[in-house]
């Protein structure tokens, strides 16, 4: 007699084959948790680096904007056209604010006479640099300028190099000069 039993039609076997779930190694949950912590830390580090980079980009852009404005203003300020003295004074007053606007407005007639009596001069900015950001949001900028003018007979050329400290304040979307001092 054979040890195998024969099943008849409709009879179920005694042992039913079921798939056995694969067993996990004991270190697997710890590895998954470690990977999740590492992923969260990486995302946090990337976010902090992105915020820092964005802030440095905004500060650099603002510095370029300030230096560009001050350079343009100083070119206008040091370029004198005695034939358009009123326009010169009005242009400077339009870009002034605070103490500088008050002082310039108080001395506007004297400045107008000096400009009208002067020889034409061309001002150029040799260099400028941001000295510091002030607590009130204004910026102090150091500027070196060169002013070239000719004698009335146009035989001599005069060059004058000066250093200036300009304080600029933002009013709305526009920068304006709030203080201007010649450095000796």
Q: What is the pLDDT of residue 3?
A: 60
Q: What are phi and psi of 108, to 5 degrees?
A: -60, -40
pTM value > 0.85: no
- Tally of CA atoms within 13 A in the half-sphere of 71 that contains its CB: 13
* Residue given tokens 């580090």 in the structure block: 45
Q: Please state which CATH number belongs to domain 62-183.
A: 3.10.450.50
Neighbouring residues of 122: CB distance < 8 A, sequence distance ≥ 6: 79, 147, 148, 149
Burial 14-46 (b: 16+ CB within 10 A, else e): eeeeeeeeeeeeeeeeeeeeeeeeeeeeeeeee
Token pair of 143, please?
Answer: 């500027």
Closest CA to 147 of 116, 119, 174, 173: 119
Q: Across-strand partners of 163?
A: 144, 183
pLDDT tens for the chain, residues 1 to 184: 456 667 778 777 667 777 777 777 888 889 999 999 999 999 999 999 999 999 999 999 999 999 999 999 999 999 999 999 999 999 999 999 999 999 999 999 999 999 998 889 999 999 999 999 999 989 999 999 999 988 888 788 889 999 999 999 999 889 999 999 999 8
Residue 89 CB: number of other CB atoms within 10 A? 19
Query: Can you give the residue ranges of every domain in the chain?
Result: 62-183
Quick one: tokens of 11?
């009879």
For tokens 């820092």, name the residue: 52
Residue 101: how many other CB atoms lie within 10 Å = 17
pLDDT of residue 1: 46
């Amino acid at each position: 007699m054979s040890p195998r039993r024969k099943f008849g039609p409709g009879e179920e076997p005694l042992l039913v084959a079921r798939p056995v779930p694969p067993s996990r190694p004991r270190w697997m949950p710890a590895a998954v948790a470690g990977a999740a912590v590492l992923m969260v830390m990486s995302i946090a580090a990337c976010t902090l680096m992105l915020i820092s980079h964005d802030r440095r980009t905004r500060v650099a852009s603002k510095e370029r904007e300030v230096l560009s404005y001050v350079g343009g203003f100083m070119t206008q300020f040091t370029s004198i056209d005695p034939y358009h003295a009123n326009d010169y004074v009005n242009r400077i007053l339009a870009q002034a604010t605070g103490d500088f606007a008050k002082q310039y407005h108080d001395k506007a007639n004297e400045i107008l006479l000096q400009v009208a009596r002067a020889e034409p001069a061309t001002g150029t900015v040799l260099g400028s640099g941001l000295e510091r950001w002030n607590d009130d949001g204004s910026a102090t900028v150091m500027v070196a300028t060169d002013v070239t003018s000719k004698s009335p007979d146009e035989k001599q050329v005069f060059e004058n190099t000066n250093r200036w400290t300009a304080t600029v304040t933002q009013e709305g979307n526009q920068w304006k000069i709030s203080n201007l001092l010649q450095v000796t």
